[in-house]
Structure 1
Amino acid sequence: MAPYTLRWGIISTGWICTQFTQDLLVDPKSRSVSDVSHKVAAVGSRSVESAQIFINKLKSAKDDDGWSWGVNNGLLDDTKPLGTYDEVYNDSDVDAIYVGTPNTMHHQCAKAALLAGKHVLCEKPFCLNSAELEELISIARSKNLFLMEVVWVRFHPIAYALEEVLRAGQLGKPQRFFGDLSFDNKMDTQDPSSRLLNPSLGGGSLLDLGPYPALWAMLLLHRHPLNQDKNPKLLFSHQTVYERTGVDLNTRWCLEWKGLCQGLLSTDLASFGLKTGSIVLQCEHGDLLIDYPPYRAESFEIHPKPDLASDKEGVQKASRHHHPIAPGNYGMSYEADEVARCIRDGRQQSDRMPWEESLLVQGWFDQIIRDGNTKLKDLRGTEGQ
């Protein structure tokens, strides 16, 4: 039986759109996939010329580039370079839209695509606020369309492996969680109008980096077999304001899953995170440490408790586990496969990345921004427009 082929329209032509589109062009067999495949039907940009430049760069792949398979097999031969996003939304050859625009444009682009009858995969953060997200979900539900936030790590090999570790119960009940994603972005050397520094573009560490410690908290705590709390509380938060532009230089927030444990999450644009243990889950019988970077982790370690807290029934020996992304894939291909399967099967949302979990994380961010003192407090969404 021939694989189901999903025809994509790409919105924007920046770095993240390049990574995603390259992964669409990698041979699915490289990641042991045979039931779905992908085609790039159209690319939308501010002009036909810039869309064509994007396509031409993809076509210039070297033989050892993973996406050269798609180029050599004609997957870009009929790709349309379009000078407006609306042309992509209304193209009859496009099934699904990938939204890779700046944060402040996610809602309006996703909404326009849904209203045009297209399925949508939207980059994180899904929206600027919960009201925007609720509107998108309402439209998707009413029009029977698929909608999902880009949280690609949920579909990586390591995520499934860790799920098995937690299900096996060898670590016991969680006791506390630490999750961090931080970069030393040399902020004072950056253009204040750039994406990370500009509040009007949704800049700062929380919206750009925050989805990653949040996703690990969701995977390791919210989805833990012992968790019964489906509405964890944000206990407190702190944001350090970067005075030059008014975005958050760093953010810290504490969550509680009642009856399970608490988690401390952080983001920072002035310091790199730990190479080993950027994500840590401490449990009653052993500790789990996930390697940096948390947005593309491939290895984790399991450690016994210190000698002074020895547990004869717990983990007795440290172990290291490696679950790499398939060669030639950057890592976004797994998520694209999930989208294709959901659309093929007539599903509106993914069981591994459901709307309720996106709404939960979005709600945390809303409260953190309200309680902070950054210029993002003054940023208004485009819901209802």
Structure 2
Amino acid sequence: MVTSRRLRWGIIATGNISVKFAKDLLVDPSTRGAFDVAHRVAAVGSRSVRSAQRFIDRLKTERQTSGVLESEIEQCKAYGSYDEVYDDPEVDVIYIGTPHPLHHSNAKRALEAGKAVLCEKPFTMSVGELDELIRIAKEKKVFLMEAVWTRFLPIMFRVQEVIHSGKLGKVKRLFADFSIDFNPDDWPYSWRMIDPALGGGSLLDMGPYPAVWAMMLLHRHPFNTNGKPPSLVFSHQTIYKRSGVDANSRWLLNWDGVGQAMCVTDMTAHGTHYGCVIVTCEKGDLILDGSIARPSTFHIITRGKDGPTADDEKETFNVPVPAGVGMCYEADEVYRCIRDGKIESERMPWEESRIVQGWFDEIRAAGSG
């Protein structure tokens, strides 16, 4: 299917995550084999018109694919407020890239204006806030989705296929780690990873990435026949004393009849490039290399009956993103859902956002205990 109908995006906030997303919208969809979607950046909202215009000018300068500038961003409007983007009749969908504590109010205002919403993770600061957004989306019959872009990457589909096929036998356990040494002592208190008023700490900012691998490989496993949520067996947080946010978090999840997942986040130590996700199964292991947000390689290691030996067989598979960062895949999902009249994505449903938000609420409430 070839389409000429462009989905008109309004971008809220002009930070780095919004830049990456908007640049991906300008990548020619044919470079990723998508011929049924088309995107346009129609408006950008910031605290000033000048800031919004700088964002647009940067997109024009740094566009990743030639030949798309004129049709996809040339007529983009710069607004000095978010409300102007919500109220623009030439905007179909709002991308929200503001700090975590603002997600709820920004998404609520957009939904009430009748706009579809793609909101950065974490969706909200609590399940209660998320439930209000879901209620409004249902009442308004407007599309709403959390922007967990890793769910939509080609490598995620490939890895799911291997684990869910039973090729490696029953899953025993999953380990997923997202750790980066941000050297927090070198940053001002006002930095978003440190300031609790901005939702600081490793859990909210980094936690969605180990969580998505646990959800996609274990929660969605065929053995989880009724989609039952896991139990949170335990959690621990090390508190960053300067501001009281978590320096690191770890939590163990158990899906009855499926397997367990240990998830780790840390902003004071680097994680390994090799084995950011390890799935241990009866007959072998699946190991992902690279960034946990966008790994590009996975290995299947098949063990003999006596356990790991030097004779284990190893197959390596490279699954790169052909163009852009990879956020374009979640944008394509939004396009198709809106085109088909859906208000919720089957690949990123509200209930699965609620499950992960529930972990975060419980882990944060327990604190360092």
| TM > 0.5 fold call | yes
Aligned residue for 1:270, secondary structure, equals coil
Shift of 1:325: 0.3
Report the equivalent of 2:5.
4
Within the candidate set 99, 103, 108, 1:102 is matched to 99
For residues 345 and 214 of structure 2, the distance between their equivalents in structure 1, rounded to whole angstroms, comes to 18
Report the equivalent of 2:365.
370
Aligned residue for 2:68, secondary structure, equals helix
Aligned-residue RMSD, C-alpha: 1.6
For residues 68 and 197 of structure 1, the distance between their equivalents in structure 2, rounded to whole angstroms, comes to 39
Report the equivalent of 1:256.
254
Counterpart residue type for residue 107 of structure 1: H
For residues 363 and 300 of structure 1, the distance between their equivalents in structure 2, rounded to whole angstroms, comes to 30
Shift of 1:60: 1.6
> TM-score, normalised on structure 2?
0.96
Report the equivalent of 1:87.
84
% identical aligned pairs:
51
For residues 353 and 170 of structure 2, the distance between their equivalents in structure 1, rounded to whole angstroms, comes to 25
Report the equivalent of 1:326.
322
For residues 115 and 66 of structure 1, the distance between their equivalents in structure 2, rounded to whole angstroms, comes to 34
Counterpart residue type for residue 338 of structure 1: E
Q: Do the aligned residues in 2 keep the contact of 1:25 with 1:69 (CA within 8 Å)? A: no
Report the equivalent of 1:112.
109
Within the candidate set 105, 113, 129, 1:132 is matched to 129
Unaligned runs of 5+ in 2: none
Map 1:1-385 onto structure 2 (within 5 A): 1-61=2-62, 65-71=63-69, 73-228=70-225, 230-305=228-303, 308-309=306-307, 317-327=313-323, 329-373=324-368
For residues 186 and 235 of structure 1, the distance between their equivalents in structure 2, rounded to whole angstroms, comes to 30
Q: Deviations over 1:284-326 (max 9, x none)?
A: 1111111131101111111123673279xxx962111111101
Q: Deviations over 1:133-179 (max 9, x none)?
A: 00000000111111000110111110111122123321111001111
For residues 298 and 342 of structure 1, the distance between their equivalents in structure 2, rounded to whole angstroms, comes to 27
Counterpart residue type for residue 273 of structure 1: G
Q: Deviations over 1:255-309 (max 9, x none)?
A: 0001121111110011111111111110111111111311011111111236732
Counterpart residue type for residue 357 of structure 1: E
Aligned residue for 2:103, secondary structure, equals helix
For residues 36 and 5 of structure 2, the distance between their equivalents in structure 1, rounded to whole angstroms, comes to 6
For residues 280 and 222 of structure 2, the distance between their equivalents in structure 1, rounded to whole angstroms, comes to 15
For residues 27 and 265 of structure 1, the distance between their equivalents in structure 2, rounded to whole angstroms, comes to 35
Shift of 1:247: 0.7
For residues 13 and 45 of structure 2, the distance between their equivalents in structure 1, rounded to whole angstroms, comes to 6
For residues 191 and 241 of structure 1, the distance between their equivalents in structure 2, rounded to whole angstroms, comes to 17
Q: Do the aligned residues in 1 keep the contact of 2:3 with 2:38 (CA within 8 Å)? A: no
Q: Do the aligned residues in 2 keep the contact of 1:182 with 1:269 (CA within 8 Å)? A: yes
Q: Deviations over 1:29-54 (max 9, x none)?
A: 11111111001110000011111111
Aligned residue for 1:303, secondary structure, equals strand
For residues 3 and 291 of structure 2, the distance between their equivalents in structure 1, rounded to whole angstroms, comes to 36
For residues 260 and 279 of structure 2, the distance between their equivalents in structure 1, rounded to whole angstroms, comes to 10
For residues 2 and 33 of structure 1, the distance between their equivalents in structure 2, rounded to whole angstroms, comes to 10
For residues 289 and 300 of structure 1, the distance between their equivalents in structure 2, rounded to whole angstroms, comes to 5
Aligned residue for 1:259, secondary structure, equals coil
Aligned residue for 1:298, secondary structure, equals strand
For residues 240 and 19 of structure 1, the distance between their equivalents in structure 2, rounded to whole angstroms, comes to 31
For residues 2 and 153 of structure 1, the distance between their equivalents in structure 2, rounded to whole angstroms, comes to 25
Number of corresponding residues: 366
For residues 267 and 306 of structure 1, the distance between their equivalents in structure 2, rounded to whole angstroms, comes to 33
For residues 82 and 102 of structure 1, the distance between their equivalents in structure 2, rounded to whole angstroms, comes to 19
Unaligned runs of 5+ in 1: 375-385
Counterpart residue type for residue 178 of structure 2: L
